[in-house]
Structure 1
Amino acid sequence: MTDNASKKKQGKTRPKKSVKEAAVGYLSRRDHAEKELRQKLKNSGYRGEEIDQAIDFCQDYNWLDDVRYACIMMRNGIAKGWGELRIKQEMEVKGIASGIIDQIFEGAETDWYEHARDVAIRKFGQTAIDTPKEKAKRYRFMQYRGFNFDQIAYAFNQDEEY
């Protein structure tokens, strides 16, 4: 068995570029949360201490910033027509700390009720809800998008029940 074949059987070979180069490479393509970048570097075969040094290096140069990344995620989520709940969930999945998430949403100037109405109009137009089945369909769509019940009711001007 050749040396390369035995190395592949034993596990990943040592990456050819330095951990700092790899981290900067990932960040040059798009922003990442610290946890996400740490996981990518680990999956690439780098060790914990090296990863810590690369993370510190990137943070020192302000190339890695979870607050900035959370702001970008919020802006992108709103553009996609997502509600507050869905955006928060996506941030948590990416590994953004709950304190940062709270800070971003407290400082946000988004009116989630009006945003829900805009999303509903964009998807369904101004047509009235004429059946309970149609109401359920529209509410499910808005829930999937991350709006709460009050925001959904506001979006569809639903005060009455069927």
Structure 2
Amino acid sequence: MSNAKFNKLIDYQQLKQALQQLEHTEHHATASTQPHSKALPSTQQPCSTPPSSTQLSSTQHSANVSTTQPNQALGTEGLTGSRLRSYAFAVIARKEYSKQQLIEKLLLRAHNRNEVLELVEELAQSHYQSDQRTAEMTLNSQLRQGKGPQRIKQALHKKHLDQQLIADDLQEIDWLEQAYQLKCKKFGLEVATEPKLKAKQIRFLQYRGFHLETIFAAIQRLPES
């Protein structure tokens, strides 16, 4: 992808001019709907006939047109072109997103769904967005938080990431050691013999996402001499 595609930033001067145009138009629209202050002659009584429905409809239509057109100039109908591209880069510069997450986030601001799909695909092909990278960062983050394999798989699913992206990494992790270290940090090195304390340790490790087989091995493991 050429660098020329990425050097277009939002033209804030153009947005400022469009906002001024909106305020100017609304001011004139308000002034045009106010009654004239010229007094009627004393011999002439004001007309008491209410305006017809056709006249009311025409007035409402004119007011709607005067406020809708400036809003379109401000781009409130959705981002497109260089504005959408600039917003996409601002989003992925802050954190890693899966492809599906990025699509959903951009659609909240974009005007055209197809444009979003094409842009995200372009970013993925150029490695600005990467499901593989996002999955690896998710795994590392979950491990730092003391999460087991079940919780890690849930985190991947929530981000619309295929766990096969990090299948090899998951197999290489010593989950028994992970569970044992968590148990020791929370409850100490001593092996629990009281049923209530055992149950508490089991619930704790289950909540962290470890399998029961790993949990039982962890809570019964003797301290290394």
- TM-score, structure 1 normalization: 0.82
Choose from 83, 90, 98 the match for 1:25.
Answer: 90
Q: Which sections of structure 2, spanning at least 5 residues, go unmatched?
A: 1-62
- Give the paired residue count: 151
1:83 maps onto 2:148 in alignment: yes
Q: What does residue 106 of structure 1 align with?
A: 168
Q: What does residue 70 of structure 1 align with?
A: 135
1:132 maps onto 2:225 in alignment: no
- Deviation (angstroms), 1:130: 3.6
Q: Check the 8 A contact 1:24/1:58 in 2, yes or no.
A: no
Q: Check the 8 A contact 2:98/2:160 in 1, yes or no.
A: yes
Q: Which sections of structure 1, spanning at least 5 residues, go unmatched?
A: none
Q: Whole-Å Cα distance in 2 between the matches of residues 124 and 23 of structure 1?
A: 46
Q: Which amino acid aligns with 2:67?
A: D
Deviations 1:18-71 (A, max 9, x none): 222222111100101111111111122442111112102211220111011101
RMSD: 2.4
Q: Which has the larger radius of gyration?
A: 2
Q: Quick one: structure 1 residues 117 and 42, their matched pair in 2 at CA, closer, same or farther if it must change by over 3 Å? A: same
The percentage of counterpart residues that share the same residue type is: 26
More divergent stretch after superposition (77-86 vs 125-134): 125-134
- Taking the TM superposition and a 5 Å limit, the aligned residue runs for 1:41-60 are 41-60=106-125
Q: Whole-Å Cα distance in 2 between the matches of residues 106 and 86 of structure 1?
A: 17
Q: Quick one: structure 1 residues 54 and 103, their matched pair in 2 at CA, closer, same or farther if it must change by over 3 Å? A: closer
| Structure ranking higher on relative contact order (CA contacts 8 Å, 6+ apart) | 1
Moved over 4 A (4+): none
Q: Which amino acid aligns with 2:211?
A: N
Q: Check the 8 A contact 2:110/2:116 in 1, yes or no.
A: no
